[in-house]
Amino acid sequence: MSDQPILRVIAKMFIPFLMLFALYVQFHGDFGPGGGFQAGVIFAAALVLYALIFGTEQAKRVAHPQALQLLVAFGVLLYAGTGVAGILMGGNFLDYGALDHHDPVHGQHLGILLVELGVGITVTTVMTSTFFIFSARKKP
């Protein structure tokens, strides 16, 4: 679709704002609606839009498939790792209050930030990887 100037220009204008909005939904989830899952799908939608307009090969140079596969696992590990960190700091699994002994509320903030980031990373990369795999398949 790269030969269509209107689509190219509009997509170029939209994609940075889509990504910025995804980051806003990710890190503002404590205050407004949203969180890791929502941010992940919006970010993935931006990447998919980029791949649709500028071609999958170009998109794979931005989001390398191998890096995506590593990040799929990294997101889950970040979430579970935050839980394990709670145990190591003397609390229960996924007890974020234990992450900061002086101020449990601060620990909760830190824990929620990290697990939401883990969810966001896994969702973004799973969605984008799935799209890359499907787009690579040709008619048999």
Q: What are the DSSP calls for 16-82, one per residue?
A: HHHHHHHHHHHHTTTTSS--HHHHHHHHHHHHHHHHHHH-HHHHHHHS-HHHHHHHHHHHHHHHHHH
Considering the complex, state which of residue 90 and residue 140 has its C-beta at the smaller distance from another protein.
140
Closest separation between CB of residue 15 and another protein, Å? 13
SS3 132: helix
Site for another protein, residues 51 to 90, rule: CB under 8 A:
52, 69, 72-73, 75-76, 79-80, 83
Closest separation between CB of residue 8 and another protein, Å? 18
Phi/psi of residue 122, nearest 5 degrees: -65, -45
| DSSP designation for 102 | S
122 binds another protein (CB under 8 A): yes
Binding site for another protein (CB under 8 A): 25, 29-35, 37-38, 41-42, 44-45, 48, 52, 69, 72-73, 75-76, 79-80, 83, 94, 96-97, 104-106, 108-109, 111-112, 115-116, 118-119, 122-123, 125-127, 129-131, 133-140
